[in-house]
Amino acid sequence: MAMGTKGINGIMTVAERKLCNSEKFDAADTNQTLAVLSQRFAVDPRLGHHDYRYYIEKGISNHLRVCYSVTQDRMWSGYPSEPLLSCVSAHLLYQTPSNLTTALHALKEMCDDELIDRGKEGELASRLMLLLAKDMYVRKFLSDKEGSYVRNPHDDEHWEAELLDCQKVSIIHFLEYIFGESFWSMIGDAKTAFEHAYINFSHWVTMEDLINPKNSDTDL
């Protein structure tokens, strides 16, 4: 079924411009980079930092950040779990060879300034490692059209087109890509057990509430 004149890439381009509030992503622009990284890696300005309100207000007014509620002491806001927007963010990070490097350098500076919370046990580093590894794996092994948002059998005018960063990946191949082929030899028969297993993730979100509070007594 045809999508019309713009196609998937056209729709994604509009979302890209909305997220960046610009015709083109500038990884050196802190507000743009914070928006792109926040949508994918659950990166948020730290409450108590002197620039906290500035970046939150900029994100809400210009970069698709959602304001959930306002209290006397703070605005509760964030990026909803939205795979389409996550694919837009991923595309921006890999649009040019320098974008990812520039964005990560900007993130380091924000962490050094304590604008961004790195987590009690370095959770931010784990989120970065796992998702960036999946990004690179997908682009190395599962992409058939450089620079496109989609992987599809024909073109981007059909609903059969699959968003590049929403593809499932083999657990076996993914872990080998991260840790090397010798990884499975250290853990017995696990490779056989996961022979037909796949994972799929395109972004991280912060969970502040139980997913199923009704069964909280039995689930804990």
pLDDT in tens, 121-142: 889 999 999 999 999 999 999 8
Distance in angstroms (rounded) separating the CA atoms of residues 188 and 218? 32
Strands 162-163 and 169-170: unpaired
Burial (0-12, 13-18, 19+ Cβ within 10 Å), 51? middle
Which has the closest alpha carbon to 34: 50, 48, 51? 51
> What is residue 197's predicted lDDT score, i.e. its pLDDT?
95
> What is residue 127's predicted lDDT score, i.e. its pLDDT?
95
> What is residue 112's predicted lDDT score, i.e. its pLDDT?
94
> What is residue 191's predicted lDDT score, i.e. its pLDDT?
86
> What is residue 50's predicted lDDT score, i.e. its pLDDT?
93
Q: What parts of the chain have a pLDDT lower than 70?
A: 1-6, 73, 145-147, 152-161, 208-220
> What is residue 68's predicted lDDT score, i.e. its pLDDT?
85
> What is residue 1's predicted lDDT score, i.e. its pLDDT?
33
> What is residue 19's predicted lDDT score, i.e. its pLDDT?
97
> What is residue 4's predicted lDDT score, i.e. its pLDDT?
41
Distance in angstroms (rounded) separating the CA atoms of residues 218 and 69? 31
Contact assessment for residue 174 and residue 183, using Cβ atoms and an 8 Å cutoff: no
HSE-up of 16 (CA within 13 Å, CB side)?
20
